[in-house]
Amino acid sequence: MEVDFANKAQEIIPLSSSLSNLSIDSNSTRKASVRLTISSSYRGRFPPPLKKKSPPKLVSLCVGVLGQYLEDIIEDLSDISSIFPADIKQALAAIARRRKLLTDEVLIALVDNSWEFLDISESSITDTGLAEATKACKNIKAADISRCNKITVMGVSDLMNNCRSLETLRCGGCPTSEYTAYKSINIFKPILKVVEEETWEELDSMEISSTCQSLRWLSWPNIDENSQQRMATDSPRIILNPQPSSPFSIRRVDEIPRAALPNIVLDEISIEDIDPKTWVVKDINSNPRNIASSSSLPSSDISMAEKFRLAFLERDKRLAPKRAKNARQHQRRMERNSFSTNANGKSIAFAMNDQKYFENHWWSSR
């Protein structure tokens, strides 16, 4: 009995010591709850701390340097582009498009068979360059040919025939591109071929359509009512100018691909980590007005000092002819003043006048 009591006493001692260390104070509990309530009440009033922007990658810096001096390596671009990965080639193509350097030769030199989108909007690409590029990359799922003055119906046909996985197409934006899109309505919709085979297996192995069958999203902002009615009647599967819908709409926003949404630059994703000065600096010397109207660099992203600098450069270029004219006038005025004040200049002027007088008198006497 005494041994059992001693064992129980030894078990109670650590329990009592742990209870003594436990502080059950109503005031401390109340303070903790008040502190928690205050912190939770002020949590929504203040904005979250700003996240530090991560420094650019070394690859992005190198691509920026290449893009900044792109016009110096265009002649050798076909030789050196073979060592570049596909994403680097696409970033260089995006920079070349923004710097108005994207031509058939540049596109053909940079095109890669792993590309899934092609943005040649507002460039000087022709039907030949588009045909060669789409032959090399047939996995294109989204293409932007808007505001391309040199692309005709033949180029659109080559695009649709070569890229059978094309789902999104952007067109229009300028009179020439609008006319090309209007003439290409019959190319947008799949045309079935008349085939005659004996078994279904033979039909499955044949191509029964002559154009792209996967086209579903068509971005044509200035489409006319007649063309819109034709597309809705002949190709109801193709959705024209998709817009971000409301939460109560049948079609959800996530069903629309990013390339089909309005106000989205198709190739912006390939240069999102590259400094915009890569293509802005060189454009300043060529045409500063293009910088302010560039869709790839919103005005909210340009600092106030940069805006003043661009405005000064534009004004300087606009007043350059007037300053040159004033300089020529000042030079002629200085020459006249030197003749009128200098004795040698006066003698030369009198001699020239006498020579003209004798020449005129001699011709009149004959």
What CATH number does the domain containing 130 carry?
Answer: 3.80.10
pLDDT, residue 295, reads 41
pLDDT tens for each residue of 293-336: 444 444 455 677 777 778 878 888 888 888 888 888 888 777 77
Q: Identify whether residues 265 and 357 lie together within a single domain.
A: no
Handedness of CA 216, 157, 219, 86 (dihedral sign): positive
Proportion of the chain above pLDDT 90, given as a percent: 33
- Count of CB atoms situated within 10 Å of the CB of 93: 28
For 19, 33, 39, 43, 208, the CA distances from 29, given in Å and listed in that order, are 17, 6, 15, 21, 78
Most confident of 48-62, 63-77, 192-206, 346-360: 63-77
Q: Which residue would you say has higher pLDDT here, 206 or 229?
A: 229
Distances in Å between the Cα of 256 and the Cα atoms of 145, 189, 220 are 20, 20, 16
Question: What is the reported pLDDT for 172?
Answer: 92
Per-residue pLDDT of 149-162, as tens digits, reads 999 999 999 999 99
Q: Is the pLDDT of residue 207 over 80?
A: no
From 222, 243, 271, the end of a domain falls on 271
Q: Are residues 353 and 242 both part of a single domain?
A: no
157 φ, ψ (degrees, to nearest 5) = -60, -45
Helices and strands in the chain: count of H runs, count of E runs: 17, 5
Task: Work out the number of other CB atoms within 10 angstroms of the CB of residue 256.
Answer: 18
Within a domain: 58: no
Does a structural domain hold residue 347?
Answer: yes
pLDDT reported for residue 43? 46
Tokens of 74: 């265009």
* Domain co-membership, 170 together with 244: yes
More confident residue, 277 or 87: 87
Asked, for residue 328, whether it belongs to a domain, the answer is yes
Residues 332 and 246 in one domain: no
Q: Which contiguous run of DSSP H or E holds residue 11?
A: helix 2-21
The pLDDT-based confidence of 339 (bands split at 50, 70, 90) is low
Q: Is residue 353 part of a domain?
A: yes
How many folded domains does the chain comprise? 2
CB crowding 185-211: b at 16 or more within 10 Å, else e: bebbbbeeeeeeeeeeeeeeeeeeeeb
Same-domain pairing of 334 and 193? no
* 160 close to 166: Cβ distance less than 8 angstroms: yes
Sheet holding 239-240, edge to edge: 117-119, 142-144, 168-170, 217-219, 239-240
Q: What is the pLDDT of residue 214?
A: 85
Same domain for 260 and 140: yes
Query: 217, 248, 271: which is the final residue of a domain?
Result: 271
Residue 209 in domain: yes
Q: Which of 271, 293, 328 is the last residue of a domain?
A: 271
Whether pLDDT at 247 is above 70: no
As a whole number of angstroms, the distance between CA 145 and CA 121 comes to 5
Same domain, 156 and 252: yes
Q: State residue 122 phi and psi, 5-degree precision.
A: 55, 45
For residue 170, what are the β-bridge partners?
Answer: 144, 219
- Does 79 fall in a domain? no
In this structure, the answer to whether residues 319 and 254 fall within a common structural domain is: no
- Say if residue 265 is in the same domain as residue 128: yes
- Top mean pLDDT of 35-49, 202-216, 246-260 is at 246-260
Q: Is the pLDDT of residue 193 over 80?
A: no
- pTM score, whole prediction: 0.59
pLDDT mean over 235-255: 71
pLDDT of residue 97: 94
Token pair for 261: 């949404």
125 lies in the same domain as 254: yes
Q: Average the pLDDT over each of 78-82, 168-172, 179-183, 299-303 and give the range with the smallest value.
A: 299-303
User: Do 208 and 322 reside in the same domain of the chain?
Assistant: no
Q: Which two tokens stand for residue 208?
A: 């029964």
Domain with 264 in it: 115-271
In this prediction, residue 310 carries a pLDDT of 80
Report yes or no on 91 lying in a domain. no
**Residue 194 and residue 141 share a domain:** yes
Assigned domain for 38 exists: no
Mean predicted lDDT score pLDDT of the chain: 75
Nearest CA to 119 among 154, 73, 171? 171
- pLDDT tens, residue by residue, 42-83: 444 445 555 566 787 888 888 988 888 888 888 888 888 889
Radius of gyration of the chain (CA): 37
